[in-house]
Amino acid sequence: MNQWESRWQEGRIGFHLPQVNSYLKRYADKLLAQVPESVFVPLCGKTLDLPWLAGKTKKVVGVELVSQAVEEFFEENKLNYSLQPAGQLQLYSHESIDIFQGDFFELMPEQTGHFEAIYDRGSIVALDQPERQKYVEHLLSFLSPGGRILIITLEYEQNQMSGPPYCVPAEEIELLFSRYGRLELLETCDVLDDRFRNKGLGALQEKVFQLAEK
């Protein structure tokens, strides 16, 4: 069992929000400016952002490693789904929301099509530094020419707390994404609370970026 399956089994899912992400609501007009047919959400968990986005576009496509998360998403939102194999993954399909369950790196654009909008809320911060370059290259293979990505990151002193969620500093986001398009920092917010203070953090910031592909 990997660490993510253990977290879901044990209920250690502090990263799951019981409401739609406020940054997504605030910057949806930017992400969805081109009125995309579909939106891609990597490492989606059971986020309520999926049905919210489904109200803004025809199709939302997620990918999630842990089957428990996918099953809880459909159960808690009272959505019927069909289940079928999709290469190395399983496809849970609803009329407006598809979730591929399995390894993100096993999912290919040939299975999903390309997207004018990609939303990364908890994905890149779930990956340790050695995996991030590979992640970004694979993520961008799903992006249509001229598409946009909304990216939400965390910054803190990594030596004060072991991830995940990992610290992904602005300099690293710039290094990973800027060659692919125009990278814009939309917002920085201090989000340090008692939960993270108790883990030893002295400061914690969320940063919201948008990549607009060249």
For the chain, what are the domain ranges?
3-213
Q: How far is residue 145's CA from residue 84's CA, in Å, rounded to a whole number?
A: 30
Residue 16, pLDDT score: 61
The superfamily in CATH containing domain 3-213 is Vaccinia Virus protein VP39 (3.40.50.150)
Percent with pLDDT over 90 in the chain:
83
pLDDT in tens, 78-128: 999 999 999 999 999 999 999 999 999 999 999 999 999 999 998 999 999
The tokens of 141 are what?
């293979």
pLDDT, averaged across the chain: 93
Quick check: 60 and 97 in contact, CB under 8 A? yes
As beta bridge partners, residue 155 has 205
Q: How far is residue 60's CA from residue 28's CA, in Å, rounded to a whole number?
A: 14
Residue 164, pLDDT score: 87
Is the peptide bond prior to 51 cis by the omega test (within 30 degrees of 0)?
Answer: no
The tokens of 208 are what?
């919201």
Residue 152, pLDDT score: 97
pLDDT in tens, 3-53: 766 766 666 656 667 799 999 999 999 999 999 999 999 999 999 999 999
Residue 158 CB neighbour total at 10 angstroms = 13
Taking Cα atoms as reference points, which of 149, 153, 155, 134 lies closest to residue 180? 149
Residue 129 CB neighbour total at 10 angstroms = 12
